[in-house]
Amino acid sequence: MNVKLLKIFIITVFAVIAVFFVVVPAIKNSSDDHETVDNTGSAYDTGTEDISNTSMRYDSTEISTEDIAEDSVTNLTDNDNEATTESLRRSHAESSDSDEDTDDEDVDDEDVVDEANDTSDKDENETGDASCSDYPLYPATPEEAGVSDTTPPFFVSSSNPKYITVGETFNLDDCVGYIDDFDRNVTLTQSGSVDTSTPGSYPVTAIITDSAGNSSSMSITVKVVSSSSEIPAAEPASHMNYSDFIATYKVAGTSVGIDVSKWQGDVDFEKVRDAGCQFVIMRMGVTGSSYELDSYFLQNYKRAREAGLKVGVYMSTKDYDADLLREHLIQMIEDLGGDSLDFPIVFDWESWGKFQQYHMNLYDINNLLRIFMNTAHEYGYEGMLYSSRNKLGTVWLDPGQYTLWYARYNATPDYSDSPYIMWQKGQGYIDGIAGEVDLNIYYDTFD
């Protein structure tokens, strides 16, 4: 009997030892495995943020306000524009003289913006990470793209011939704009000299070279004249009256309109409508170092709507930073207060003279466009690219994937199988505007 008890005792001891050395460590390891999974998840999230933050990288060189603000920006205090952007956010309702009523309307406006944007429940990736957007960003370096840089930089603008007066300093960099696919700091060199103390014609060659050694060149004639009166005036552009524009270019299935900004001054949109105009695209945002509303936008928007015209807006931008562009577009969209538009919001970049000052490469500027398109769509709007024929063939990559507003004056619009939804044909005159205005054909109707 004692032997049996001893055996039971020995078996029990071995069982306790087994539990201590086998089961307990297994439980601990299982717990450690769960912690490892959690840590891996955190590392993955951080990695995702790092990737999104390096999607666009820009040169740190500072650009002065004077460099990027070629167009003067007027504050919102001109004429009828003493109203703030809240005027538009109220969807054109009559504002109250009561501060209490105004406060109530401000709350409603915020609700409208929040409802239109519907971003309150989204996480960071859903509200701004380009990796989640409709248009993925282009790789902006050879390393990111996995290619060798064998493409030379090219010129996007030039002053040729270039006129200067005797004694004036000649700077070749002021005469040309250029861009490279990857290099953000292309080198410009000059072949040939200019004697600015002696009138005459001097041929020079502008040579642009990227960091990979690829280069291209352009011949420029510099003409030194004794006085500015010897500089020939630009040939005046041809203009037509709006009635002739309608008779010549409006065909079945199309609509005709104009685009305006502060440069048209006070516009009588009822007269514009009565002249046969069906829509107006107006400059809303003016962006670069800051965001401003076009000084006539509030007035133009209100009056065009009241006249029964279809309305679209564009952002004239010199933004060269992706985050700043996005911030400015969001601010512009919020100023719309949830209003519906009859056209996509237009991306208008036209600062090609001395483009090199922005230290962007070809993929950077195209990524700006994609960020604009993605952001507009994120906030419930569509985007549209405004471009000349030249830039569609050189700067803008894969333009057929975007909604396009085409600018070409010296050609007859193509109405069949056109890749554009709108053609800016030229400038002309219309009742209701004192001066010239851009004339447009929209390849659709509003029926």
Specify whether the CB–CB gap between 353 and 157 falls below 8 A.
yes
Instruction: Give domain limits for the chain.
Output: 1-53, 132-136+236-442, 149-230
Section 409-429 average pLDDT: 90
DSSP helix, strand, coil percent of the chain (3-state; round to 5): 35, 20, 40
User: In the beta sheet, which residues pair with residue 209?
Assistant: 187, 215
Determine contact, residues 402/382, Cβ cutoff 8 Å.
no
Q: What is the pLDDT of residues 348-390, one digit of tens each?
A: 999 999 999 999 999 999 999 999 999 999 999 999 999 999 9
Token code pair at residue 214: 């690829």
pLDDT tens column, 119-174:
333 333 333 333 335 899 999 999 999 999 999 999 999 999 999 999 999 999 99
Percent above pLDDT 90 for the chain: 66
Q: Which position has the higher pLDDT, 92 or 54?
A: 92
Q: Measure Cα distances from 236 to 5, 412, 427 in Å.
A: 118, 19, 11
**What does the mean pLDDT of the chain come to?**
78
Burial of 222 (0-12, 13-18, 19+ CB in 10 A): buried
Question: Which of 115-120's residues contact partners 24+ apart within 8 Å by CB, and which partners?
Answer: 115/338, 116/337, 116/338, 116/379, 116/380, 117/333, 117/334, 117/379, 117/380, 118/380, 119/378, 119/379
Buried b (16+ CB within 10 A) or exposed e, 30-55: eeeeeeeeeeeeeeeeeeeeeebeeb
The CA distance from 188 to 186, in Å, is: 7
Taking residues 280-298, what's their average pLDDT?
97
Would you say residue 9 has pLDDT above 80?
no
| Residue 256 in this model has a pLDDT that exceeds 80 | yes
CATH for the stretch 149-230: 2.60.40.10
Q: Do domains 132-136+236-442 and 149-230 have the same CATH topology?
A: no
3-state secondary structure (DSSP) of residue 277: coil
**Can you name the CATH fold of 132-136+236-442?**
TIM Barrel (3.20.20)
CA–CA distance, 228 with 247 (Å, rounded to integer) = 41
